[in-house]
Copies of this chain bind each other. A is one copy, B any other.
């Protein structure tokens, strides 16, 4: 875009090569490079919400939801709302957003101070949402809509896989919580050290411990706890 005239790099881009790389990756030229700089700033480095990417993430999150909603609305003209909601929650799940963030190489560009491996955190997915917010403010809805379709959904979202994915209890609990806009997490730890080892997993839904279960592995304990949780959540 705008390549028809000789675009000069802004001071922000010159001083921040990561912003330059990001703009290259997404194929945009901008007069508001500071927005993209902000999108890459994690709160671990920039305390003030005015400087870190959390506000842009807030904005980008719902814009991504809107565009994915529209894509699904068009793609599945006969589908019911429940189906559309379920498919969307898979596309915008934390793990899916992280993968998309990695696919764009955001993990290499983020300005964060973290002891843990960045791959294990949600930094890349969060930065992706912030980037969507930045593009929206900079270029408007039509451009961000095209970005989400062409750079994220078309190359990286495989509908066949998503549709064929028989959802396991843990995914279903996460989907349910997303739909209700409630936080859910799994607290899982070693319960018995001696052989046979066992793990305990507790489902924390909206701050409450609603179910727990034991299993021979972390994964199995979580799936069993999730199955318990589904039974409880359904009664609501």
A133–B78 CA distance with the chains assembled, in angstroms: 16
A58/B77 contact (C-beta < 8 A), A66-B63, A216-B209 known: no
Say whether A84 faces chain B, with CB atoms less than 8 Å apart.
Answer: yes
Determine the residue in chain B with the shortest Cβ distance to A76.
B55
Say whether A80 faces chain B, with CB atoms less than 8 Å apart.
Answer: yes
Determine the residue in chain B with the shortest Cβ distance to A85.
B58
Q: Helix, strand, loop or mixed for chain A's interface? A: helix
A49/B196 contact (C-beta < 8 A), A69-B59, A85-B58, A141-B141 known: no
Determine the residue in chain B with the shortest Cβ distance to A68.
B62
| Cβ–Cβ contact B55 & A80, under 8 A | yes
Contact partners of A61 in chain B: CB under 8 A: 69
Say whether A188 faces chain B, with CB atoms less than 8 Å apart.
Answer: no
Q: A interface, how many residues as a size bin?
A: 20 to 34
A202–B216 CA distance with the chains assembled, in angstroms: 12
| Cβ–Cβ contact B59 & A73, under 8 A | yes
| Cβ–Cβ contact A54 & B78, under 8 A | no
Say whether A75 faces chain B, with CB atoms less than 8 Å apart.
Answer: no
Q: How far is the CB of A210 from chain B (nearest CB, A)?
A: 12
Say whether A234 faces chain B, with CB atoms less than 8 Å apart.
Answer: no
| Cβ–Cβ contact A220 & B207, under 8 A | yes
Task: Among B65, B136, B145, B209, point to the contact of A65 (Cβ < 8 A).
Answer: B65
Task: Among B55, B70, B77, B81, point to the contact of A54 (Cβ < 8 A).
Answer: B81
Task: Among B49, B73, B181, B216, point to the contact of A89 (Cβ < 8 A).
Answer: B181
| Cβ–Cβ contact B62 & A81, under 8 A | no
19 pairs of residues in contact across A and B, judged by CB atoms under 8 Å: A49-B79, A50-B78, A54-B81, A55-B80, A55-B81, A57-B81, A58-B73, A58-B81, A58-B85, A59-B66, A59-B70, A61-B69, A62-B65, A63-B69, A65-B65, A141-B141, A196-B202, A196-B209, A209-B216
Chain A contacts to B: CB under 8 angstroms: 49-50, 54-55, 57-59, 61-63, 65-66, 69-70, 73, 77-81, 84-85, 89, 136, 141-142, 145, 181, 196, 202, 207, 209, 216, 220
